[in-house]
Structure 1
Amino acid sequence: MSRADALTPAQIHRVLKTCQLMQHSEGKRCAVALSHAALRVTEVALLKTEHILFANGKIKEEIHLPASICKLLKPRTVWLTNKTSRAIIQEWVDHRLVKKWGVSGRAEFQGLIPESRFLYTVRGAPYSLQPKPRKLDSGVVREYWACDSLEQAMREIYKKCGLPSASSHSGRKSLCTNAVVNGVPIETVARILGHASPETTIDYVVIQPKRIEQMCGIDWF
């Protein structure tokens, strides 16, 4: 599993603010917001407009991810109820309309083509995937598809924010850690992340020494 750091709410806010100073800021902020809604980087890259928007243009609160874009072909649901995330997603939709990326000219889906990829690169093209080998515990090597370009872009975002150990996987780890710290049952978090067992979810909880200090009020010096 990735050794990516989990971010505190303050760090997530700082990352989103810093993105506003970067090129293609709307797309980068949207990618970060979606990753912190528990989407894996390849799911973000393959997400379609119709997965995010209703035909009437409203942003969905429950996103049903089809098996075709999910790890191990297991469909699942993620939730987009965070107000900041929803505002960032709308900013990205507005940006696509201005750039005329995947537009239909019709009123449905806010004027976007429903089958179009939701996220685009700075050049106005969907992110591409590359085949990669994965060695299973059994020793069998299987091929899977990954979006290295979006993964690298997100690593660069975090690096510029002074978070060199963060990656696209930090979104899922941050959601898990912050939820558990705030008392959400681990079984609920497992369902959000799409884990078959809460034991897998426990490995996603990353409690940094500074956070322990804040929680316990311990003076380490």
Structure 2
Amino acid sequence: MPNRGRPAGSSGPAPVLRSEEINRVLRLVKSRPRFSARAEVAFHLSFYLGLRAKEIASLRWSDVFDEGAKLREVLHLKAAYTKGSKKRDVFVSSAKLQKALAKFAQSYPDGRKPDAPLFRSQKGGHMNAASMARFLKQLYVEAGIPKASSHSGRRTFITNLAERGIDLKAISILAGHSNIRTTAMYVDNNPVRLARILKDVSW
């Protein structure tokens, strides 16, 4: 059965990105002739905050910047943005994400109204979840990682936290999972993580 709303090549679990692949995507987005700042921010929100395509596409200017165009330290995701319609706070702690957002703000079009979409569609409105998923998918295709999808940043975010020894409960809260068992599936079923664990085992 086709997976509606997801680009071709995005079926099945999204692969976790290796460090080399992450750097390849970042080099690509910075060299893009069009939508470079938008691409960089969208990727960073996926990779550093673990946001879903719908959550990224739903963001408004006032969710990310205050009245003085200063970057907020915490993004309050509204229920309408999230899977399961549950509010969630995410923390803009990454220096790289902060830098990317500051750069994006400088290139943002005029008319920074509070309800203005952070990511505009070609018609000037909000990008929807499917269009954001296609946008991120295209970045991976251009970077030579065709099997990756818009969910790869999120899966990489969760896996990296687990590999750093962060407890599953904390990861579950940061990822916006309603059930810790969902988080455990991301972590336990990841073959890259399991291979790394065995590589470090010596007895």
Deviations 1:176-205 (Å, cap 9, x if unpaired)? Answer: 000101111111100001112211001222
How many Å apart are 1:210 and its aligned residue?
8.7
How many Å apart are 1:124 and its aligned residue?
6.8
Matches of 1:167 and 1:10, distance apart in 2: 16
Letter in 2 for 1:17: R
How many Å apart are 1:90 and its aligned residue?
1.1
2:24 is equivalent to residue 14 of structure 1? yes
Match of 2:3 in 1: none
CA 95–211 in structure 1, closer or farther in 2 if over 3 Å, else same: farther
Match of 1:195 in 2: 177
CA 80–198 in structure 1, closer or farther in 2 if over 3 Å, else same: same
Letter in 2 for 1:3: P
Match of 2:46 in 1: 35
CA 213–64 in structure 1, closer or farther in 2 if over 3 Å, else same: closer
For structure 2, the 5+ residue unaligned runs are 1-10
Does the 8 Å contact 2:52/2:154 carry over to 1? yes
Match of 1:137 in 2: none
Q: Name which of 24, 45, 49 aligns with 2:61.
A: 49
Secondary structure of the structure 2 residue equivalent to 1:63: strand
Which protein has the bigger strand share?
A: 1
Match of 1:116 in 2: 116
Which deviates more, 32-41 or 11-20?
A: 11-20
Q: Name which of 182, 195, 199 aligns with 1:216.
A: 199
Q: Name which of 150, 162, 165 aligns with 2:132.
A: 150
How many Å apart are 1:78 and its aligned residue?
1.2
Secondary structure of the structure 2 residue equivalent to 1:77: strand
Secondary structure of the structure 1 residue equivalent to 2:170: helix
Q: What is the aligned residue count?
A: 188
Deviations 1:159-191 (Å, cap 9, x if unpaired)? Answer: 121211211111211110001011111111000
Does the 8 Å contact 1:2/1:169 carry over to 2? no
Match of 1:25 in 2: 36
Does the 8 Å contact 2:59/2:119 carry over to 1? yes
Matches of 1:199 and 1:217, distance apart in 2: 26
Letter in 2 for 1:27: R
Deviations 1:57-87 (Å, cap 9, x if unpaired)? Answer: 3211211111122212111111211011111
RMSD value over aligned CA atoms?
2.3
Q: Name which of 135, 143, 147 aligns with 1:161.
A: 143
Matches of 1:125 and 1:55, distance apart in 2: 21
2:64 is equivalent to residue 81 of structure 1? no
Matches of 2:12 and 2:171, distance apart in 1: 18
Matches of 1:215 and 1:56, distance apart in 2: 50
Matches of 1:56 and 1:209, distance apart in 2: 43
How many Å apart are 1:152 and its aligned residue?
0.9
TM-score by length of 1: 0.77
Matches of 2:118 and 2:176, distance apart in 1: 21
Counterparts of 1:133-148 in structure 2, within 5 Å, are 147-148=129-130
| Larger gyration radius, structure 1 or structure 2 | 1
For structure 1, the 5+ residue unaligned runs are 104-111, 130-146
Does the 8 Å contact 1:49/1:115 carry over to 2? yes
Matches of 1:9 and 1:56, distance apart in 2: 36
Letter in 1 for 2:89: T
